[in-house]
Amino acid sequence: MKIKTREDLDALKRQGLESLYPDNPKITVGMATCGIATGARKVFDALSEEVEKKKLDVVVARTGCIGFCQKEPLVDILSPGRERIYYKEMSPEKAVQLLDQSMGAKPKEDWALFRMEGEENLITNEAISYVENHARAGDNAIPLYKEFPFFKKQVKVALRNCGFIDSERIEEYIAKGGYYTLLKVLTEMEPEEVIEEVKRSGLRGRGGGGFPTGVKWASCRHAKGEPKYVICNADEGDPGAYMDRSILEGDPHSIIEGMIIGAFAIGSHEGFIYVRNEYPLAIEKLKIALTQAEEYCLLGEDILGTGFRFNITINRGGGAFVCGESTALMASLEGKVGEPRAKYIHTVERGLWDRPSNLNNVETWANVPAIAARGADWFSSIGTENSKGAKVFSLVGNINNTGLVEIPMGISLREIINDIGGGIPGDKMFKAVQTGGPSGGCIPEQLIDLPVDFDQLTEAGSMMGSGGMIVMDENTCMVDVAKYFVDFLQEESCGKCVPCREGIKRMHEILEDISTGKGREGDIELLEEIGFILKEGALCALGSTAANPVLSTIKYFRQEYDAHIRGKRCPAGVCSELITYSIDPEQCTGCGRCVKACPAEAIVGEKKQPHSLDPEKCIKCGSCFEVCKFDAVIRQ
Amino acid sequence: MITLTIDEREIGAEEGWTVLKAAQNVGIEIPTLCYHEALSPSGACRICSVEVITKKGRNRVVASCLYPVEEGLSVQTNSEKIQRLRRGLMELLLARCPSSEKIKDMARQMGVIVPRFRLEQEECILCGLCVRVCQEISEARAISTVNRGTKKEIAAPFYDLAETCIGCGGCAYVCPTGAIRIEDNKIRLGDKIFKELSPEEVKKVEEKFGTKEKAAEKG
């Protein structure tokens, strides 16, 4: 089918609405990578089998990630006229029992996570209600989505459809308002108007740099040279970050629609999506979406019958982190070694094959249709003065609610960690949060009220980056954290320029010394000196920001470095060369738990008699320390 | 014609020139390692870094071999910041190649005698001149960089003899540290042999670039 008119879109929208909200009960499994990793596929198969076997009048559907990855696999039930209920940590056996509920039985409150009375359509700004009568109270023990702490403060713009649609069904995307915006843009707007709208919205690049998107588009539009290229950077590689993957898997059409709008505004007819090959599901979903878009005339020679032409090619990255850097990405697209080049002449002037090229990342592109649909004023009403809109963060590390959250810019770290994230597990103290990936830095507990936006994070010595947020508790050693990131960068530096290749290696060497008790006076100053060389001398942003994890931990946790260097001890008890374990005979009850836990057979003792630990055999894994209930294991 | 200031000296340059070329044109010296006038610039060694202030007032450190001249640009080739950066770069390179005369010499000129890092025993500084000469002048594309980061090195495909090597010796000629050599009728970089040459081929190379002894005389 070819979509040429609004009526054609309407017809698909009707199909989509039927599929989203069918007349019979629908049970949906969250099947993004996070869900599948915890067993969602088995859950889906079990449900399908059961429905088939019992000939139940139930639709078994799949969707992407709604963000609450901590409690995956998630399954939700939507029965006509009733509230939608989400269930957590589903196994195939449990999920099958849920089918009773879809057939009218009472919801299983113990398994439920939250409930929804309806959903909002961000694009059309309409709300739909699942329940016929809003006043109908019931299921009160199950918290409401809107009041559920994890979701309450979120504003889902880029993630608007993730977890709500089946990304393989283009009609569901259209039913959520998708591609109507494209039709409006292509038929009612001039390219300059689109650019102006994006400029006014204040949208800044979500991939790390935070460059104003509209300004970039304008430069590319006005740059000399043809053809012009539009590129989507889907080479997400920061440790602990998976915002883009979720959108690629859960809502690929939002990226495609954003890219077509961008191409129209810039005057480009050829686009590329550079996606890392480690994202097989994302690539699969993206391929399906592109094929559908081509079939429906949303890509190709005559988009929506307007005569505008644009095509998108997927290019798979080979696993180099540095290829997320725009010039290295373009070199890789050209088939060359993925090494960055100097950007004294910007890529919007001379990028891919020396032609004007506009590159934005996945999340930025996914924001574009929303801005074009709702307008710049709406978008800029969210966020802070210089950071507009909402930003997706992947909240990971020592946090109760691991997941993806999209929050309005300007919300404080405290709200993110305590309210949305549910605080630190095991009553431990919050120590620091690492933002911005390997280019970012660690923000300490005393800055927990920092409002999160581009400028505030940079001022604190970190950066927004692409949105990784790694929460660390009191048992984290900051020297070890710095060493981890520097090790990552040492592996991932392309090795072209001297500061990055040699400097990061030397930083790692020094940190390794410090963490193994070989640190010397002057090491901190030497690290700072290498930091200067990297910042001023490195060729690309990977190198020039590479010292941030080190410099920010020195800035906020200098005493911890000093303890390692001068005191030869690791206050957090992480650096194994600097700690020893022993057993306090006064406290030890001889329960034997540590004996069982020790993988090195270093602990011996008679039952109910104080045990002893052989430091020669001890591998300092800390297992005994973790299992002892009587505080008898001493770590020094 | 573009007018810019380098080290407080007002000079003229042609549109499209780099800062390095503009400086060299009027005899202002900027140290380089990975630059050769016959090859495309790379910006890998960063030794030619200079401080620029653009007309808009933006101050930053750039690689002069790549940075295009612009009207009203103010360039400092030897500011305190630049000296500190170059010293740091030379210290890193000297720790990598402590036996290289060229590196020792340059480092000494900048005041670096003993690096504060563990010493390695590399000869190659990975400036990439050999790869560029092989691509751009000889058009043989016989050698390239392989791997990345700290594992990066210059090699022929699969560490084998370079099938497309024409034996011109350009890589050895252009190598600033003498890491690539023609020895025992072989073009080699340490243990890696790129090409075995016939005596006639060696003679041809020597006619073109001079003998090893002559090269040593030149320093």
Contact at CB, B92 and A503, closer than 8 angstroms: yes
pLDDT band at B127 (very low <50, low <70, confident <90, very high): very high
- The confidence score (pLDDT) of residue A134 equals 54
Q: How far is A463 from chain B (nearest CA, A)?
A: 20
Contact by Cβ (8 Å): B69, B22: yes
Name the residue facing A539 among B43, B47, B84 (closest C-beta).
Answer: B43
Fold match between domain A21-151 and domain A179-378: no
Interface of A with B in 530-569 (CB under 8 A): 530, 532-533, 536-539
- Chain A contact for B152, CB < 8 A? yes
pLDDT band at A73 (very low <50, low <70, confident <90, very high): very high
Taking the C-alpha atoms of residue B85 and residue B91, their distance in angstroms, rounded to an integer, is 10
Write out pLDDT tens, residues A373-427: 999 999 999 999 999 999 999 999 999 999 999 999 999 999 999 999 999 999 8
DSSP state of A11: H
Contact by Cβ (8 Å): A311, A299: yes
How is chain B classified by DSSP, letter by letter? -EEEEETTEEEEE-TT-BHHHHHHHTT-----SS--TTS-----S-TTEEEEE-TT--EEEEETTTPBP-TT-EEESS-HHHHHHHHHHHHHHHHH-TT-HHHHHHHHHTT--S-SS-----------HHHHIIIIIS-----EEES-GGG-EEE-GGGS--TT-----HHHHH-TTS-EEEETTEEEETTEEEEEPPHHHHHHHHHHH--HHHHHHH-
Among 3.40.1190.20, 3.40.30.10, 1.10.1330.10, 3.30.70.20, name the CATH number for the domain at A580-635. Answer: 3.30.70.20
Contact at CB, A499 and B92, closer than 8 angstroms: yes
The answer to which of A6-20, A90-104, A204-218 has the lowest mean pLDDT is A90-104
Name the residue facing A498 among B81, B93, B148 (closest C-beta).
Answer: B93
Q: How far is A604 from chain B (nearest CA, A)?
A: 42
Chain A partners of B44 at a C-beta cutoff of 8 Å? Answer: 496-498, 539
The CATH code of the domain at A21-151 is 3.40.30.10
- Give the mean pLDDT of A41-45: 97
Residue of chain B whose alpha carbon sits nearest to that of A520: B116
- Give the mean pLDDT of B8-33: 97
- The confidence score (pLDDT) of residue B212 equals 57
Question: At the top level of CATH, which class does the domain A179-378 belong to?
Answer: alpha beta
- Cα distances (angstroms) measured from residue B146 to each of A337, B34, B128, B156: 9, 18, 11, 8
Contact at CB, B149 and A509, closer than 8 angstroms: no
- The confidence score (pLDDT) of residue B200 equals 86
Taking the C-alpha atoms of residue A494 and residue B49, their distance in angstroms, rounded to an integer, is 20
Taking the C-alpha atoms of residue B177 and residue B175, their distance in angstroms, rounded to an integer, is 6
Bridge pairing between strands B2-6 and B74-76: parallel
CATH architecture of A478-565: Up-down Bundle (1.20)
In this predicted structure, the answer to whether residue B211 has a pLDDT above a threshold of 70 is: no
Q: Which two tokens stand for residue A343?
A: 């950007």
In this predicted structure, the answer to whether residue B116 has a pLDDT above a threshold of 50 is: yes
Predicted TM-score (pTM) above 0.80 = yes
In this predicted structure, the answer to whether residue A543 has a pLDDT above a threshold of 50 is: yes
- Give the mean pLDDT of B78-85: 97
- Chain B contact for A529, CB < 8 A? yes
The SS3 of residue A613 is strand
What would the 3-class secondary structure string for A559-580 be? HHHHHHHCCCCCCCCCCHHHCC
- Give the mean pLDDT of A168-176: 97
- Chain A contact for B69, CB < 8 A? no
Write out pLDDT tens, residues A296-306: 999 999 999 99
pLDDT band at A139 (very low <50, low <70, confident <90, very high): low
- Cα distances (angstroms) measured from residue A374 to each of A126, A185, A256, A378, B69: 12, 12, 18, 6, 44
What H or E segment, with its residue span, contains residue A582? strand A581-583
- Chain B contact for A105, CB < 8 A? no
- Give the mean pLDDT of A89-118: 88
Angle subtended by helix axes A243-250 and A362-374, to nearest 10: 60
Taking the C-alpha atoms of residue A247 and residue A207, their distance in angstroms, rounded to an integer, is 13
- Chain A contact for B146, CB < 8 A? no
Q: Which two tokens stand for residue A390?
A: 């909402």
Taking the C-alpha atoms of residue A250 and residue A163, their distance in angstroms, rounded to an integer, is 7
Q: For residue A436, give the nearest of A212, A246, A207, A211 by alpha carbon.
A: A207
Length of chain A (residues): 636
- Chain A contact for B79, CB < 8 A? no
- Give the mean pLDDT of A615-632: 91
- The confidence score (pLDDT) of residue A209 equals 85
Instruction: Return the top range by mean pLDDT from A516-530, A570-584, A617-631.
Output: A516-530
Interface of A with B in 331-370 (CB under 8 A): 337, 341-342, 344-345
In this predicted structure, the answer to whether residue A322 has a pLDDT above a threshold of 70 is: yes
- Give the mean pLDDT of A600-608: 91
Contact by Cβ (8 Å): B35, B25: no
In this predicted structure, the answer to whether residue A136 has a pLDDT above a threshold of 70 is: no
Which of B46, B61, B122 has the highest number of chain A CBs within 10 A, making it the mutation to test binding with A?
A: B46
- Give the mean pLDDT of A134-162: 85
- The confidence score (pLDDT) of residue B202 equals 84
Chain B partners of A536 at a C-beta cutoff of 8 Å? Answer: 49, 61, 81, 85
Domain boundaries, chain A: 21-151, 179-378, 390-473, 478-565, 580-635
CATH architecture of A390-473: Roll (3.10)
Taking the C-alpha atoms of residue A156 and residue A403, their distance in angstroms, rounded to an integer, is 14
Contact by Cβ (8 Å): A409, A382: yes
Write out pLDDT tens, residues A474-488: 999 999 999 999 999
In this predicted structure, the answer to whether residue B218 has a pLDDT above a threshold of 60 is: no
Chain A partners of B119 at a C-beta cutoff of 8 Å? Answer: none
Please report the ipTM that was assigned to this predicted complex: 0.94
Contact at CB, B117 and A495, closer than 8 angstroms: no
- The confidence score (pLDDT) of residue A137 equals 52
Contact at CB, B46 and A497, closer than 8 angstroms: yes
Contact at CB, B148 and A342, closer than 8 angstroms: no
Chain B partners of A499 at a C-beta cutoff of 8 Å? Answer: 46, 88-89, 92
